[in-house]
């Protein structure tokens, strides 16, 4: 499969200047009280121990968390995101 990449005649990092703060998107991670974790590292360890046994959900279909998970399956963590 051949992919075409058209390079623009400008460098967006060099040639543009930010003028306003447009978006604020806080991320919140919550787990059911019955899940035996107290920190993110505990959740990662639980997911690694049960890669097919955890579910996650998002309040929005275009949430940045969904984009991050879909764009980087497992994040190199050894976890299979389904």
Give yes or no for residue 44 having a pLDDT over 70: yes
Domain extent for 70: 25-76
Mean of per-residue pLDDT scores for the chain: 75
Q: What angle do CA 40, 42, 48 make, to 5 degrees?
A: 105
Give yes or no for residue 69 having a pLDDT over 80: no
pLDDT digits (tens, 9 = 90+) for 54-67: 777 766 655 655 55
CA–CA separation, 24 vs 31, rounded Å? 23
Tell whether 56 is covered by a domain. yes
Tell whether 51 is covered by a domain. yes
First to last CA, the chain: 25
Q: Can you give the pTM of this predicted structure? A: 0.49
- For CA atoms 7, 9, 13, 16, give the dihedral sign: negative
8 Å CB contact between 48 and 77: yes
Give yes or no for residue 74 having a pLDDT over 70: no
What domain count does the chain have? 1
Tell whether 30 is covered by a domain. yes
DSSP state of 47: H
pLDDT digits (tens, 9 = 90+) for 6-28: 888 899 889 988 888 887 767 77
pLDDT recorded at residue 75: 54
Tell whether 64 is covered by a domain. yes
């Amino acid at each position: 499969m051949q992919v075409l990449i058209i390079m623009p005649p400008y460098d967006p990092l060099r040639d543009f200047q930010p003028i306003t703060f447009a978006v604020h998107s806080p991320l919140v991670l919550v787990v059911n009280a019955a899940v035996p974790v107290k920190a993110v590292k505990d959740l990662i360890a639980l997911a690694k121990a049960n890669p097919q046994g955890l579910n996650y959900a998002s309040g929005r279909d275009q949430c940045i968390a969904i984009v991050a998970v879909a764009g980087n399956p497992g994040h190199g963590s050894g976890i299979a995101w389904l």
